[in-house]
Amino acid sequence: MCSLRMVVLCVVGAFALTLLGPCPSVCAPQGGAEPDEQPYDLDDFDMNGETDWENLDLNGENYDYEDLDQEIEVGTVAPPAPETPPPANMPPPEYEEEMTLSPRPTPPLAPVTLDFKGPGLFGPDTGLDKLKSIDLTGNQISGVDEDAFRPLPQLQDILLADNNMQALPELPPTLRYIDVRNNRLVSNGLHTDGFKEMSLLEFLYLSDNKLDYIPVPLPESLRVLHLQNNNIQNLHVDTFCNSHDRNYIRRSLEDIRLDGNPVNINLYASSYICLPRLPIGSH
């Protein structure tokens, strides 16, 4: 007979074999020879053998597996928020990105024509009567009042290049530098003897206009005279020199440009024989 210990082991083994299948051997009597161990053949193991797996009662109770088929409510997922349509005046995303990366250029402003006309433009009431230099280059100015610069007794430099002026107003005799290049000046738009009293004038730029002749007389102080790209067709014998004084030499005037005019300066050699340098122009 088996001892109590062996009985317990046999019961446990029988229970285990009940799960796995029939016991291949019986409990050996005490002191008897142990039966040979035979491994289970898993390939031939029959899960539907003697054990009734469906009606197996592990704890002596019957389980109702039908409850497992009941749905378990874990929680309610919040519905997605409704999409808010963009405002009617907002561009689509791809267009907005295009605007961010490549903004539309601002169209250029239309040119403005300025007319400096009216009394007292630079008068003593404006506090500008002590001006020494005025630069109005490139402002599309089409006209200036005749006495606009008259109340400027200390004016030395005036720059009116790159405008649309056809005539010059009266200029103060204190000027040293005049630049009216690239306008639409005509000879009739210049004052007769307009530069004669300017005893301090050194630089006179009149190129790229529509002048028909050189505005004479020119002051003795003049050093630079640019008249290229006009419509000057001839020179007078007294334009630069003095026909009544054969010994006269005009030493200050060293830079004369007449290129871009229809005049042939070779035909008027006596007009510049008194100059220290020959003028630049067509030959």
**What is d(CA 24, CA 261) in angstroms, rounded to the nearest whole number?**
131
The pLDDT assigned to 28 comes to: 46
Backbone angles phi, psi at 161, to 5 degrees: -70, 160
Could you tell me how far CA 124 lies from the centroid of its own chain?
44
Show the tokens assigned to 192.
Answer: 């007769």
The size of the chain, in residues, is: 283
pLDDT of residue 134: 94
CB atoms within 10 A of CB 2: 13
Burial degree of 247 (CB within 10 A; 0-12, 13-18, 19+): exposed
Contact (CB, 8 A) for 114 and 86:
no
Query: What is the pLDDT at residue 129?
Result: 75
**pLDDT tens string 71-114:** 545 444 556 666 666 555 555 555 554 454 455 665 555 544 44
Per-residue pLDDT tens digits for 173-231: 999 999 999 999 999 999 989 999 999 999 999 999 999 999 999 999 999 999 999 99
Q: Residue 25's pLDDT band (boundaries 50, 70, 90)?
A: very low
pLDDT digits (tens, 9 = 90+) for 251-283: 999 999 999 999 999 999 999 999 999 999 987
pLDDT digits (tens, 9 = 90+) for 139-162: 999 999 998 898 899 999 999 999
Reported confidence tier of residue 60, pLDDT bands at 50, 70, 90: low
CA angle 248, 251, 254 (to 5 degrees): 130
pTM above 0.75, yes or no: no
**Mean pLDDT of all residues in the chain?**
76
State residue 97's pLDDT score: 47
Q: Spell out the SS3 assignment of the chain.
A: CCCHHHHHHHHHHHHHHHHHCCCCCCCCCCCCCCCCCCCCCHHHCCCCCCCCCCCCCCCCCCCCHHHHHCCCCCCCCCCCCCCCCCCCCCCCHHHHHHHHHCCCCCCCCCCCCEEECCCCCCCHHHCCCCCCEEECCCCCEEEECCCCCCCCCCCCEEECCCCCCCCCCCCCCCCCEEECCCCCCEHHHCCCCCCCCCCCCCEEECCCCECCCCCCCCCCCCCEEECCCCCCCCCCCCCCCCCCCCCCCCCCCCEEECCCCCCCHHHHHHHCCCCCCCCECCC
pLDDT at 283: 72
The structural domains of the chain, ordered by start, are 4-59 (no CATH), 110-283 (3.80.10.10)
Residue 175 to residue 154: CA distance in whole angstroms: 8
User: Residue 128: pLDDT band by 50, 70, 90 thresholds?
Assistant: confident
